[in-house]
Amino acid sequence: MSFVLTCDASTRVALRTFDARAGSAVVPVGKVLLGVPVASNTPVFGLGTAEGKKIGGYVSIIKEVTADDNTAVGYLHSADSGKTWVSRPNLDLGQASLPQHLVTVSSPGVKAPLAVKSFSGTISIQAVVNKASELNLAHVINLDGQATIQVVYL
């Protein structure tokens, strides 16, 4: 799915996410989803519940990100509301769902947010479904993940 963020002028922005199905995620420890190894503390978005059982979970990243006129970018993550930044291999929207966490773009190799007029990329999602023994497969189960992406002006 395509993602485009456009501003009237060059601006430093970051992204924060909110999981409307928080608490319903199945965390597939040991799996690799979208190139991200999943550990017990990996933020995974929920897919809702069916008959009180967790349906599954998903990870989401923004890939192939470019800024302004197709300028290559680096990726940053902050765990303290933008006070400090560390380089990351991608824009992991799950990381941005943790309290005080943000993700943004930078010039390659620079650990400070890049002021951009626009940036775009592809939102990739990979889901996992809970074990069949945990779900009533005699009925249709609708995957019901819902996340919000918030733009934060820095």
Is the distance from CB of 122 to CB of 64 less than 8 angstroms?
Answer: yes
Which candidate, 29, 24, 63, 58, places its Cα nearest to that of 44? 58
Residue 85's pLDDT is 98
Residue 72's pLDDT is 86
Angle subtended at Cα 144 by Cα 77 and Cα 25, rounded to the nearest 5 degrees: 55
The tens digit of pLDDT for each residue in 49-77 reads 999 999 999 999 999 999 997 788 999 99
- pTM for the complete prediction? 0.91
Q: Flag whether pLDDT at 36 surpasses 90.
A: no
